[in-house]
Amino acid sequence: MFSRFSALLLSGRGAAAATRFASSLAGESNLPRNLLLPSNLVDPSRTKRPPPPADSPLPLLRSCDADIPAHLSPVRMWVDTLDGRDSEPLGVAELHPDVFAVPPRLDIIHSVEMWQRSYKRISYAKTKVRSEVRGGGRKPWNQKGSGRARHGSIRSPIWRGGGVSHGPRGPTSYYYMLPMKVRVLGLKVALSSKVAQGYLHIVDSLNIHSPDPQDLMDAIRHKAWGDSVLVVDVGEDFPANILEATATLKTVNLIPAIGLNVHSMLKHEAVVLTLPTLQFLEKKLLWHDQRYTPLYPFKLPYSDFP
């Protein structure tokens, strides 16, 4: 009993994860023999497939538009379809290393995530100070003669029912802006870590044949993409089928590419990008590497703003 609990505590995602963690230390799995496992466990060693080799027979569906520095090589990834039960990839896509293979700066992901949480925060907590509490203008009793302690008002902070001396004062805003380049780098680091850990998937388009949410969930479970999926596409218009399929689903969400942010990427286990999205993201994120410092805000038109 206790061994079963300890085994379950060990394995965050079941026996497979336990074998993964354990195998980094020792060669054998040290699972107890009387371990009872649920049947829908996923083995990452079976689902994680190696990146496409250089001489893969499948066609190269997309190569990078921007120039890649000479000492870096593009990141190669499989391109799948969203619907259908076949797990054969359609082709191979090349991704720019300066967006999808930047060094994993976890401290930047932390700062961007904290910024996303707090810049919108306004705390409305407010307490009344002794001057705002109703009453308390008159001296309760004479200074001398009554035998009691001397007081000036009945609403001073040492009184019961008096004002709060150092409480929260009024709506407080926690707004601050991280530099634009830090926020851009946060997006790049988040995308790179998703690629490195195998949680980023590329899909040719979002056209699925049935608007049934159950079909979509089955396809995702069959491909073993994870519990939650974030689907990103360029533009506001999504195909009607996928809109209907994801409308009732809580764990599968659609966003346009301009709405891509670090918090959503961390919250969802898998991120799915379409081929036009890759071009959009690379263009927008790479521009900041070699831009001039702004003369006037970027909201106003610039000739080279992507």
**Contact stretch for other proteins (CB under 8 A) within 3-11, 67-75, 149-157, 233-241:** 67-75
**Residue 92 or 206 having the CB closest to other proteins:** 92
Cβ pair 74, 96 in contact under 8 A:
yes
Rounded-to-10 torsion of CA 156, 158, 163, 167:
130
70 binds other proteins (CB under 8 A): yes
287 binds other proteins (CB under 8 A): no
Please tell me the distance from the alpha carbon of residue 151 to that of residue 143, in angstroms, as a whole number: 7
- Categorise residue 14: left if φ over 0, alpha if ψ from -120 to 50, beta otherwise: left
**Residue 38 or 103 having the CB closest to other proteins:** 103
Q: What are phi and psi of 173, to 5 degrees?
A: -100, 140
SS3 state at 202:
strand
- Binding positions for other proteins, 117-176, rule CB under 8 A: none
| SS3 per-residue string spanning 46-97 | HHCCCCCCCCCCCCEEECCCCCCCCCCCCEEEEEECCCCCCCCCCEEEEECH
User: In this chain, which of 7, 77, 79, 101 binds other proteins, going by CB under 8 A?
Assistant: 101
**Residue 17 or 249 having the CB closest to other proteins:** 17
Please work out the total of residues on this chain that contact other proteins, with binding judged by CB under 8 A. Answer: 36
User: In this chain, which of 110, 169, 181, 221 binds other proteins, going by CB under 8 A?
Assistant: 110
269 binds other proteins (CB under 8 A): yes
10 Å CB burial of residue 216 (0-12, 13-18, 19+) is: buried
Minimum distance of other proteins from residue 263's CB (angstroms): 8
Question: Token match 């929260």: residue?
Answer: 168
Q: What are phi and psi of 280, to 5 degrees?
A: -60, -50
Minimum distance of other proteins from residue 50's CB (angstroms): 11
Here's the x/- map for other proteins, 73-92, by CB under 8 A: it reads as x-------------------
SS3 state at 243:
helix
User: In this chain, which of 19, 193, 241, 277 binds other proteins, going by CB under 8 A?
Assistant: 193
**Residue 4 or 110 having the CB closest to other proteins:** 110
User: In this chain, which of 60, 72, 243, 247 binds other proteins, going by CB under 8 A?
Assistant: 72
Report DSSP state, residue 126.
-
54 binds other proteins (CB under 8 A): no
50 binds other proteins (CB under 8 A): no
Of 18, 21, 13, give the one whose Cα is nearest residue 3. 18
Minimum distance of other proteins from residue 1's CB (angstroms): 27
Residues at the interface with other proteins (CB under 8 A): 12, 20, 24, 70-73, 97, 101, 103-104, 106-107, 109-111, 113-114, 190, 192-193, 196-199, 263, 266-267, 269, 292-293, 295-296, 300-302
